[in-house]
Amino acid sequence: MSPTALLRHCWASWRSVTPRELLVFSLVAGAFLLMNNLELGRVLSSPELPQILARQCLEPLLPALGCMLLLLPVERSRLRGRQRGLALAGITVLATVLAMLAIVFIVEQLRWPSVGDVLRQQRGELPEFQFSLRSFLGGCLTVLVPAGLTVALFSYFSRQRQDREALQALQQQREELQRQTASAQLAALQARLEPRLLFDSLVGIEHAYAHDARAASARMERLIRHLRVALPPLRGNGLQTLAQEAELLDSYLAVQRDLQAQALSFRLDCTPAALGRSLPPMLLLPLLQAALHAMPQAALCCTLRASVSTQGALAIRLHFDAAGLCASHEQLHQLQQRLHTLSGQRGELRCDSSDNATEYRFDIQ
């Protein structure tokens, strides 16, 4: 990495510091600041107490600041494993040495005494303001403890955050795979249903043209309408409104009425707010297909009712004027899963059958 790129990386890392990271540095520095001032009670009567307090505060704060400035670029880099560990150890030592050099320089320039200096003065000894290697190394060892703890705590919280972000990314990938799986299942459903319905309808229309061209033309119009309504939702990955789903039910019943010569009818009783709500495609049509399969030759009336509560919950009721038309529990569960996978909404689907009616209840939050 070039010096210019390194400086840009460091500046971007310092600008990206979060309040949580600042809190970690502040807590560590505050803890060692408190520990560093435990002996102040012995020099409270000294006239140099403000200078002593300034030096005692400087010693833990400078290493913490140095660790933060050096640690952030490492944490924001791509270093992993052993390289990352060596880099963290290196910046701990470097921050300690730089902080001690700064402390020695400031103390020598401003002549701030320490608690030990004041105690030595009280014993008649001279304070030590001159640099000595022994005192410098001792100070480095003293400062190395808070610096190392700062780096360790910051690295721990940073790793936790990275693990949470990685877990969220995996969850998002899982949800995306679930959506793709559900879309593939819809495509498979389309491949299984469309050719059969289209073939049977075209054969019936061909036979109808031999007897009544006007009736055959009307059947063709109904088939075209159903295909126009059904195919885009099935082939797309998006959602559709309840109004589109209702039109799909109506057009499907119209085509089935032509194919089976059944007295099939459809009624719609929905509020405008409910008709505008988004749903995954093929959510209600399988329930209608299950009802037709259970009573293939009987007259049947299908009524779709829907409303939205003041809390925003959508209540859908698919009513049939015949008993015993409930789909299997597995199919109901699959529809609930499709709702959650494709739209993120949760809903409860149940079926109630009485002596002369069957009603599906779909409550969506």
pLDDT digits 0-9 by tens, 230-263: 775 544 555 788 998 899 899 999 988 888 767 8
Q: Are residues 166 and 220 in the same domain?
A: no
Amino acid at 21: E
Quote the number of domains for the chain: 2
Within-domain flag for 303: yes
The arithmetic mean of pLDDT across residues 129-133, rounded, is 61
Residue 365 exposure: Cα atoms within 13 Å on the Cβ side: 7
pLDDT on residue 191: 47
| Chain Cα centroid distance, residue 127 | 60
Q: Are residues 236 and 161 in the same domain?
A: no
Residue count (the chain): 365
- Residue 364 — φ and ψ, nearest 5°? -115, 125
Closest CA to 269 of 321, 325, 339, 316: 316
What distances in angstroms separate CA 296 from CA 23, 201, 238, 287, one per listed residue? Answer: 70, 16, 32, 14
Within-domain flag for 186: no
Q: Are residues 96 and 239 in the same domain?
A: no
Q: Are residues 256 and 345 in the same domain?
A: yes
More confident residue, 181 or 347: 347
pLDDT on residue 172: 80
Within-domain flag for 34: yes
pLDDT on residue 66: 79
- Residue 283 — φ and ψ, nearest 5°? -95, -40
pTM, 2 dp: 0.53
Q: Are residues 135 and 278 in the same domain?
A: no
Q: Are residues 233 and 322 in the same domain?
A: yes
Element (H, E) at 310: none
* pLDDT tens digits along 143-167: 777 777 777 777 777 778 778 888 8
* Residues facing residue 318 across a β-bridge: 304, 360
What is the bridge-based pairing of β-strands 300-308 and 264-270? parallel
Amino acid at 134: R
Q: Are residues 107 and 241 in the same domain?
A: no
* pLDDT tens digits along 185-232: 655 555 455 677 788 888 888 888 888 888 888 889 988 888 888 775
Quote the domain boundaries for residue 279. 212-364
Within-domain flag for 343: yes
Extract the tokens encoding 22: 């600042």
* pLDDT tens digits along 305-363: 999 998 888 999 999 998 888 888 888 888 888 777 766 778 888 899 888 899 999 88
Within-domain flag for 178: no
Question: What is the CATH number for 228?
Answer: 3.30.565.10
Q: Are residues 97 and 228 in the same domain?
A: no
Q: Are residues 230 and 349 in the same domain?
A: yes
- Residue 226 — φ and ψ, nearest 5°? -65, -45
Closest CA to 279 of 316, 310, 326, 327: 316
pLDDT on residue 281: 76
Range with lowest mean pLDDT among 49-58, 88-97, 129-138, 336-345: 129-138
